[in-house]
Amino acid sequence: MGADAHSSDGWIGASLLRKEDARHLAGKAMFVADVRLPGMQDIAFARSQIAHGRLNGVSKPSGYEAQVFTIDDFSSLQVLEAGPELDAFRQSPYPALASGKVRYVGQAVAACVAPTRARAEDIADLVAIDCDELPAVVDAIAAMSPTSARLFEGWPDNAYITRTIGAGEIPLMKDAPVRLHRKFRMNRQATVSLETRGCVAYWDARLDELLVYLSTQGGHVMRLGLARALGLPENQIRVIAPDVGGGFGGKNRLLPEEIAVCAIALKVDHPVRWIEDRREHLLASVHCRDHHYDLTICAERDGTIIGIEGDVHIDAGAYALWPTGSFMEASMAAGNLPGPYRVRALNVNTYTVATNKAPMGPYRGVARPGACFAIERLVDELALHLGVEPYALRKLNLVTREEMPYTTIAGLKLDTGDYHDALDTAAKMVDIAAIRSRQSARKPGEKRIGVGFAVYTEQSGHGVVEWSKRKSRVVPGYEAANVRMLPDGSVNIHVGVQNHGQGHETTLAQIAAHELGLHPAQIKIRYGDTATTPFGFGTFASRSIVFAGGAVGTTSRKLAEKIRLIGAHLLQADPKSVHIDNGTVVSGAGSVSFSEIALAANVRQEMLPAGMEPTLEMTGTYEPKESAGVFSYGAHAVIVSVDEDTGRVEILDYAVAEDCGTMINPMIVDGQVQGGIAQGIGTGLFEEIPFDAAGQPLATTFADYIMPCATEVPSVRIAHSTTPALVTEYGVKGVGEGGAIAPPAALANAVADAFRDCKASFNETPLTPRRIWEAAQAARGTAP
C-alpha cells in the first residue's frame, strides 16, 4: 500500500489522525449559523409558489415596508453573466430577486428582515406576489419541441446550448454487426450538504468593508462575483468561510440569495443573517444530475465495442448559475461515455435545456455518474444480448496498461494505471463463481441475488488546458500557498482551497512536514478568509490535493532551502555540507535549530548571510506539469438481494478496487471512497426530486426526499493499488469524486443480473422498489 520514493520520512502515506477533529468533537466548531454579532437580524425569503409566470408586482405588507426588499429596492445591483464564454451559450439573466418573470417554484421574490427568523417568516407570509401563470416547461425533451412554452422569449428554443460531440470512425456504426438501443434516465436530486447554505453580512465601518461569512467552497471566487454584482471594489469585501458543513459542489456557485443578503447589509445598519432551511435547500438550492440518454451501442459480434451514438438531454433548470452554469454537464456526459474502454467512434448530440426547475449546478462526480450509468449499463446489456459474462466483455474492451497513456475517442488522456487489475481485484473480492452457483441454487420464493460491476475514471487535477478548452469563465489552473515560519520556528501556511470535510489541515500539514523536516503538529494550515489567504479557486473537481498539495509542497521546499542556507551560515559551514533533519540544520560537527534560524531571519537580521532577504515567508503557485488532468480509477462490485414481490433492494456486499496514485493519508482516502459511495448509493437507490406537470417539486422534506442512512449503506471493502501520476508532485491524483461515480451503474447492473433469466432492464435512477417491480413485470410480459 502506498509506499513510494517520497515516503522515507513517513509523513507522506501516513494515516495520521486528523487535526480538525478536536473542535468538532468538543462542539466548538463554528459554522455560519453559529456566528454571533450584536444587533444581528434574520432574513426570510418570500418565494414563488408557481413554476412559471409573469411577475406583475410584489406588495409589501402594510407596516413592514422598511423590512421587506424586492428587486426594485436594488437599482444598482448588476446581473452576472454566467455560463461558458461561448457565443452559442445563451444568456439567462438571473437577478438576485425575481424581476419580470418567475421561472421556478421557490425562486426568491422578496427578502424580509426581522429580529428572529420566525418573525421574518411571518412577514414573508404576508408578502403578496402578483403573477400571471404561464405554462410550465418540465420535461427536458418535450421542451425542445417547437411548440413548447419558452423560458426566455429571445431564445429560438429552450436550449442553453446544443452541441454534437463526434469523433472517430462514425460511418462504421451504421452497419455495425450489433446495434443495441437503450434509454437511460438519472433523475434530479439535490446536493444535500448537512449544513445548508448560509450567509451573514454587515458593513464594518472601521475597515470600510463588507464582511461576509459565507458557507462556500471557494471564498475568493465568490468575492469576485459579489464585487461585480454589488459594484464594490474587491478590497472592500472580505469573505470568511468558517467551518463548512459539506459542499459536494453545491456550495461552489454564487446563488441569488447570497447576493441579496449582501445587498441588504449595505442598506441597513446592523448585521443580517440568512440560514437556508432544509425545505429551501431541496426547493431552491443547487439541483443536480437529471440526465436523459437515448443511445445505441455498436459492436462486433464478439463484443468488441465499435462506437456509441445518440442523444443526451441535460435538464439544466431555469438559470445558469455564476460563474460557469451547468454547461459542463453535457460535454462531460458525452465525453465520458466511452469510459475506460477502447471505443472507435462517438457521435452524440447534446442538449442543455432550460426548464422551470431550480437551476442545476455541480454535484460530486459532475456528469460522470450519469455517463458511467449509461456506458456501464450498455456494456451489461450488450453482454446479456451476446450471452457472455459482463466481466468478460469488460475485459475484452478495457484499455490496457500497455496502451497508456491512452487518449480516448473523446480526447481524454488516460495517463497511468491498470484498469484490468482493478476489475480483476474487484471480481476476486466478490467471487463471481460463488454468486452464479447461489443464483442457480435459488428456490422459488427466495430473494433474487445479483452481482454488478462498474468501472470508472475520475479526471482530477486538471488545469489551464482543460478549463480553457471548456471556455470556463473562471480558469482554475493553479493554487497558491503562503508558507511562513514565525520567529519561534512554528509554521503557518495559508492556502486558497477550502476545507469542508476533506481533512486539508492534516494532509497539507503532512506534505509541508515532509518538505520542511518538521512534525505536522508544528504546522498550522489556515484557509477560508480572503483577508489572509492568497488567491485560490477553492475545493472542487477533485483538485485540492493536486493543486494545493503541490503549492504547499513546492513552496515549502523553496523555504526549506533558504532555511538550510541560513543554517549553514550560522554553523559557519559550507552550504553543500549541511542538510535538514527533524527541525534542525545539521553539519558534520554541529547543528542549529529552526527556532534559532527563524529568530535570525525574522528579528536578528545581522545574523543572516550578506545580501540574504530577511523573514522566512514565501508565496508560490503550482500547476501540474501537464494540465489535461490525471485520472484516478477503480472498479466497483456490488452484490444485492432483490425481493421480487416488493422490488426492495438490499446491498449484501460492496467491494472496490481503486487507484488514486500516491496517497498522502490512506485513512482519509478510505473516508472519501466510503463517503462517495454512500452518495452514489443515494443516487442509485433513493434520492430524487420529482416534479408534477405544473412544475411543482414533490420532494421538499426528508420525509419525501429519501437519504441513505446507516441501515442502508454498508461498510465497503476497499483494495488500493498505487500507480503514481507522472506529472504531479508526489504522484498524487484527486480522489474526492470517484466514490460517487460508479455506484448507480454497479447497483443497476446488479439488480439486472438478479433478473437475468427474464432479461429485465433497469435503466432509471433511483431504483425505487416500484421501478424495480415494474421493470420486472414488464420483462415478464405481465405489465400492469
- How many angstroms separate the CA atoms of 307 and 121, rounded? 55
Smallest distance from another protein to CB 428, Å: 21
Smallest distance from another protein to CB 651, Å: 12
Which residue of 62, 75, 572, 715 would you call a contact of another protein, by CB under 8 A?
715
Q: Interface mask (CB under 8 A) for another protein, residues 659-688, using x and -? A: --------xx-xx--xxxxxx---------
Q: Cα(first)–Cα(last) distance of the chain, in Å?
A: 52
Smallest distance from another protein to CB 402, Å: 35
Q: Interface mask (CB under 8 A) for another protein, residues 253-292, using x and -? A: ----------------------x-xx--------------
Reading the block at residue 25, the C-alpha cell is: 468533537
Residue 503 binds to another protein (criterion: CB under 8 A): yes
Contacts of 476 (CB under 8 A, 6+ apart): 463, 467, 537, 538, 540, 541, 543, 547
748 touches 377 (CB < 8 A): yes
- How many angstroms separate the CA atoms of 665 and 13, rounded? 5
Residue 707 binds to another protein (criterion: CB under 8 A): yes
Reading the block at residue 312, the C-alpha cell is: 443526451
Which residue of 8, 56, 116, 646 would you call a contact of another protein, by CB under 8 A?
116
Smallest distance from another protein to CB 703, Å: 7
Would you say the C-alpha torsion 540, 545, 547, 548 has a positive or negative sign?
positive
* Of 217 and 397, CB closest to another protein: 217
Smallest distance from another protein to CB 299, Å: 35
Residue 702 binds to another protein (criterion: CB under 8 A): yes
Residue 502 binds to another protein (criterion: CB under 8 A): yes
CA dihedral 102, 107, 109, 110 (to 10 degrees): 180
* Of 693 and 707, CB closest to another protein: 707
Smallest distance from another protein to CB 204, Å: 22
* Of 567 and 743, CB closest to another protein: 743
Question: Interacting stretch for another protein, rule CB under 8 A, among 167-175, 186-194, 203-211, 458-466?
Answer: 186-194
* Of 489 and 682, CB closest to another protein: 682
394 touches 354 (CB < 8 A): no
Q: Which of residues 10-69 bind another protein (CB under 8 A)?
A: 17-18, 20-31, 33-34, 36
- How many angstroms separate the CA atoms of 472 and 541, rounded? 13
Burial of 774 (0-12, 13-18, 19+ CB in 10 A): middle
SS3 of 493, please?
A: strand
SS3 breakdown of the chain: % helix, strand, coil, rounded to 5?
A: 30, 25, 45
Q: Which of residues 221-250 bind another protein (CB under 8 A)?
A: 243-246, 248
Smallest distance from another protein to CB 507, Å: 12
Which residue of 365, 450, 501, 550 would you call a contact of another protein, by CB under 8 A?
501
CA-nearest of 410, 230, 375 to 297 is 375
- How many angstroms separate the CA atoms of 619 and 172, rounded? 53
Smallest distance from another protein to CB 61, Å: 19
Contacts of 675 (CB under 8 A, 6+ apart): 739
Q: Which of residues 588-647 bind another protein (CB under 8 A)?
A: none
* Of 600 and 673, CB closest to another protein: 673
* Of 73 and 277, CB closest to another protein: 277
CA-nearest of 624, 631, 664 to 738 is 631
Contact residues: another protein, CB under 8 A: 17-18, 20-31, 33-34, 36, 116, 118, 192-196, 243-246, 248, 275, 277-278, 500-503, 667-668, 670-671, 674-679, 701-703, 707, 709-711, 713, 715-716, 739
